[in-house]
């Protein structure tokens, strides 16, 4: 599969997982399906990294110019994107589970989930702020 096709496929699967997560707020049966999707994204990422990334480039992680030089291949850029898709989806699961644990109404976390889908860490930050307002818990609690 070429990188454009794989990009479209991973995006579509990730979007469906996010929609399913949002539609099943307050329920626990989404964990298994979304876990399978995240595992699949992790497998795609691993295959891309082990087939298109040169591990001799680890020294390039120390500078911004070095990081930029790592992303010259469409496959490596795609691996980076799949990395985001998997981690953002796991962050969404964390937000949902943590909100349930702390009895935060699911309606309060919908904006955080949408922001996590679109802007990753900003969504997690908004969740931590919502959790602080609703429960008084610190960011590390």
| 8 lies in some domain | yes
- List, for residues 43-63, the tens digit of each pLDDT value: 999 999 999 887 776 677 788
| 141 lies in some domain | no
Measure the CA–CA gap between 20 and 30, rounded to whole angstroms. Answer: 7
Measure the CA–CA gap between 65 and 71, rounded to whole angstroms. Answer: 10
| 125 lies in some domain | yes
| 31 lies in some domain | yes
Q: What is the sign of the dihedral through the CA atoms of 27, 33, 34 and 36?
A: positive
- List, for residues 77-133, the tens digit of each pLDDT value: 999 999 999 999 999 999 999 999 999 999 999 999 999 999 999 999 999 999 999
| 75 lies in some domain | yes
| 140 lies in some domain | no
Q: Are 123 and 110 in contact (CB under 8 A)?
A: no
Kindly report the pTM of this predicted structure.
Answer: 0.89
- Give the range of the structural domain holding residue 86, as residue numbers without chain letter: 3-135
| Number of domain units in the chain | 1
b/e map 71-85, b = 16+ CB within 10 Å:
eeeebbbbbebbbeb
């Amino acid at each position: 599969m070429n990188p454009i096709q794989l990009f479209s496929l991973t995006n579509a699967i990730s979007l469906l997982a996010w929609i399913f997560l949002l539609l099943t707020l307050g329920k626990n049966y989404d964990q298994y399906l979304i876990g399978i999707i995240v595992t699949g994204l992790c497998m795609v990422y691993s295959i891309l990294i082990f087939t298109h990334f040169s591990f001799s480039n680890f020294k390039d992680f120390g500078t911004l110019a070095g990081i930029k030089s790592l992303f010259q291949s469409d496959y490596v850029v795609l691996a980076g994107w799949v990395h985001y898709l998997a981690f953002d989806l796991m962050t969404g699961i964390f937000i949902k589970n943590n909100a349930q644990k702390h009895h935060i109404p699911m309606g309060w976390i919908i904006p955080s989930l949408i922001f996590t889908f679109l802007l990753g860490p900003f969504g997690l930050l908004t969740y931590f702020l919502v959790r602080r307002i609703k429960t008084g818990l610190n960011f590390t609690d």
